[in-house]
Amino acid sequence: MSDYVDGDVNEVDAANAASPTAERVLEFVARQMADEPEAVSVSTESTPRGLKLNLRVGAGDVGRVIGRRGRTAQALRTLIAAAGARDGVATNVDILD
């Protein structure tokens, strides 16, 4: 069964969405970027549009992960979208305080 219907995520598949590849890649990249790698955590939740990955980093690393004008965060979202596509799941990354 296809994960996409007319460019949108199929809601039945999105409810059961899981992307271990995207989760591992996000955690690995965030730990490499952070001054406090032990403070990095990734949690997931399933939404009707796909998989939402919530990234938490140490207080001093938030700016580093977001980057100037959000460029680093956007690049990170693009990378994680590609990793999620490998598992057939649409992903969204939120960076939490």
Domain ranges of the chain: 4-96
- Given a cut of 70, is residue 58 above it in pLDDT? yes
Task: Report the share of the chain in percent with pLDDT over 70.
Answer: 82
The closest of 47, 20, 79, 15 to 71, measured between CA atoms, is 79
The CATH number of the structural domain formed by 4-96 is 3.30.300.20
pLDDT digits (tens, 9 = 90+) for 28-55: 999 999 999 999 999 999 999 999 999 9
